[in-house]
Amino acid sequence: MTLRAPNKNVLPFALASLTTPLFVHAQTVTAPVVVTATRVEQSSFDLPVAIDSLNAVQIQDQKLKTNIGESLVRVPGTVVQNRETYAQEQQIVLRGFGARSQFGVRGIKLIADGIPASTPDGQGGSGLFDLGSAKRIEVLRGAFSALYGNHSGGVVQIFTEDGPERPTVSADIAAGSYDSWRTGVKFGGQSGSLNYIGSLSRYETDGYRQWSEATKDQFNTKLTLAAGPKSTWTVVANYLDQPNNLDPLGLTAGEVAQDRRQASPVALQFQTRRSLDNLQGGLVYEGAISDIDTVRAIAYTGTRSNEQFLAIPLAVQNGITQSGGVSAFDRDFWGTGLRWTRRTETLTLTAGADYDSAQDARKGYLNNTGAIGALKRDEDNTVYQAGGYAQAEWAFARDAMLSAGLRYTRVAFDSKDNFICTPTLVTAPGTRPGTCSGSTNAIGSVAGGIRQINPDDSGSATYSAWTPTAGLLYRLSPSVNLYANAGRSFETPTFIELTYRPDGSSGLNFDLKPSTSNQYEAGVKAFLGTEALLSAAVFLIDTSNEIVVFSNAGGRTTYQNAGDTQRRGVELAADGRFGGGFAGYVAATWLEAEFKDSFRSCVPVPPATTCTAPNTTVAAGNRIPGVPNYTVYGELSWAYQPLGFSTAFEARWNGKVMANDVNTVAADAYFIANLRAGMEQNSGNWRFSEFVRVDNLLDEEYIGAVYVNDANQRFFAPAAERNYLVGASAAYRF
């Protein structure tokens, strides 16, 4: 796959302009206050971890406010891959974890206002995040994220903004290329002891590619009641509806060269698409029980429904043990947590426990070229995660602080199979005597050397682990902090990864084991006067039993454990404010993620498109697919307050990304630039704003994401070429 090379004349100028101070009289730069690392409010500058926080301006201003990738591009160590389809949520990769995900976010804990946006087994979706009402997003990488349980890569947590002091209502609209538009209404304020905020939005697009139309409706609200001088009750609720979002699937290199905007022919044949709705709500109590002790309790519940049409050949779907080409589930989930914190002048102690549960009624049907056919799968799946943790921050000397934590996590899976077809037992609904629903093969017959039965595939598995972590921060000077940390994390398979066995036989793949990672990090955080904040981190992560894609064919992905892997890298960030309204920001990451052990994998040999037995050796030293070896993001902005005018030039440079374990196919490196500008006016109780932005200013043709190990060579998801967005908003304060 060959893509157009970056413009070599533009790139040096762009990077130089982003890192060169233009004026000497600076505005003040401060480190953000975060809570994810220690579960208490603390300056990120004084923590021995890599954690970044994005504020409301960085999330909302002059943006579409629909995809988390619009903002997370600013965070070092973070990559968001965009497949240009809302049928598959954006894929977040932290320090190389999450790259294998075929659906949504994997290996990273997602949290929205204290409520997990990840299931207990580790599968999540950032589409639940309402960016239009976000106060901040925190991204925690490294060892201390293990204190949140079942994942390896880190934690991404979003916080809804509080209502303003005066009741305010606002409306905004944005429209751009590919018939895309978003409109939203937000209202909030303070009434006595009640603070409230609510946000409602709709997004529609025809999509950059053929067969990628989408609709997204979202509502988010937060109500906070001050029950006393030191206690609050908070109610949060979120609703998401995405009906019939179309999925163009990946393309081969030849198809990209022919027409990068086309849908895969099988996407049109099987009308691949997804419908999703999610409703959840929670109640949070926070209160002081003494001058130094506080407690926090949370309870939440929700429902989620998903129906996805996959491109699986009808001949494959015909097998008695096959689950069909339509995957559907209805999920009920709930959870609770309790935390105690004691804060003194030199010591902060935190201890807590949490429990999360999800129950899926999952079914599969034949996909008769876009129409739902006979039932092929019927099972009830339950997974829960239970854990307890303790952590402490001890300022044992004037210039040093020790942080440590320990968590015990238990994850349990249980599956009850309600679809059984054997010569003596038939439970599949709609089955005629001697047949199994949806298959023309007779029960007990032999096809392709395989006896045609669908046995009881019920089963269960439980995984548990202790995950310790420790860190040390040393104040070299009032403006320079040095730190180091180390810890251990573990990551179980998800139900999606357990669903299919690599050898094609029926039943869950309980041979798949959790992976464990030993993580090490050292870094520095420094202020350059009041002009700039710099941070740098080096890290090393050794993982055992890495979960990898075994085969990926016909809409079905199977997984196995490889041997050891290693991720090592460097993260840099610099944020500066210069005189004359200028500001600059740079985030850069170098990452080497590779397999340390060789292992056997499955690559179909044409004309075959499926594979059930290992036939290929993945060599030690190969790069882990889906992970760019470097990323650079830079921004130079300028604001002229007398006119309410602001503008910014954004630049992003991503390295080469391997598409398969054997490293024979890759998406090339690319450079893209964006330009945005806007105005703001205030008149009495009114505030107006307008903006325009041009993304991919240089009209670069590049690959936005890869489908790892795709058996049909459909590895590539082309990203949009030059595109435009204009928007306006109005707000009124009562």
Backbone region of residue 73 per phi and psi (left: phi > 0; alpha: psi in -120 to 50; beta: other values) = alpha
Residues in the chain: 734
Our measurement of the distance from residue 310's CA atom to the centroid of its chain's CA atoms, rounded to an integer in Å, reads: 22
Residue ranges making up the domain that contains 679: 10-733
pLDDT digits (tens, 9 = 90+) for 217-268: 999 999 999 998 899 999 999 999 999 999 999 999 999 999 999 999 999 9
5 lies in some domain: no
3-state secondary structure 25-58: CCCCCCCCEECCCCCCCEEHHHCCCEEEEEEHHH
What is the CATH classification number for the domain harbouring 186? 2.40.170.20
* Model pLDDT, residue 60: 96
- CA angle 324-328-330, nearest 5°? 150
Task: Report residue 308 as tokens.
Answer: 């996805």
153 lies in some domain: yes
- The answer to whether 676 and 648 have CB atoms below 8 angstroms apart is yes
2 lies in some domain: no
- Residue with structure tokens 């309980």? 510
**CA 38 to CA 306: how far, in whole Å?**
35
Name the residue type at position 461: A
pLDDT digits (tens, 9 = 90+) for 690-731: 999 999 999 999 999 999 888 889 999 999 999 999 999 999
pLDDT digits (tens, 9 = 90+) for 575-594: 999 889 999 999 999 999 99
Our measurement of the distance from residue 182's CA atom to the centroid of its chain's CA atoms, rounded to an integer in Å, reads: 22
**CA 232 to CA 229: how far, in whole Å?**
9
- Residue with structure tokens 């509806």? 241
Name the residue type at position 52: D
Provide, rounded to the nearest whole percent, the portion of the chain with pLDDT above 70: 95
Res. 503: pLDDT tops 80: no
Our measurement of the distance from residue 215's CA atom to the centroid of its chain's CA atoms, rounded to an integer in Å, reads: 20
Instruction: Tally helices (H) and strands (E) across the chain.
Output: 7, 45
- The region of weakest confidence among 84-98, 379-393, 645-659, 661-675 is 84-98
pLDDT digits (tens, 9 = 90+) for 346-376: 999 999 999 999 999 999 999 999 999 999 9
Q: How many folded domains does the chain comprise?
A: 1
Name the more confident of 475 and 454.
475
Name the more confident of 363 and 428.
363
Is 2 exposed, middle or buried (CB count within 10 Å of its CB: 0-12, 13-18, 19+)? exposed
Beta pairing partners, 653: 632, 671
1 lies in some domain: no
85 lies in some domain: yes
pLDDT digits (tens, 9 = 90+) for 280-327: 999 999 999 999 999 999 999 999 999 999 999 998 898 888 889 999
* Model pLDDT, residue 27: 58
Res. 530: pLDDT tops 90: no
**CA 98 to CA 69: how far, in whole Å?**
14
33 lies in some domain: yes
- Mean pLDDT, to the nearest integer, of 136-152? 93
- The answer to whether 637 and 650 have CB atoms below 8 angstroms apart is no
**CA 501 to CA 676: how far, in whole Å?**
49
24 lies in some domain: yes
Cα distance from N-terminal residue to C-terminal residue, the chain: 57
- Mean pLDDT, to the nearest integer, of 21-29? 46
Identify which of 450, 384, 438 has the alpha carbon closest to the alpha carbon of residue 414.
384
3 lies in some domain: no
Res. 674: pLDDT tops 80: yes
Instruction: Please provide the average confidence, as pLDDT, over all residues in the chain.
Output: 91
Half-sphere exposure of 437 (CA within 13 A, CB side): 21
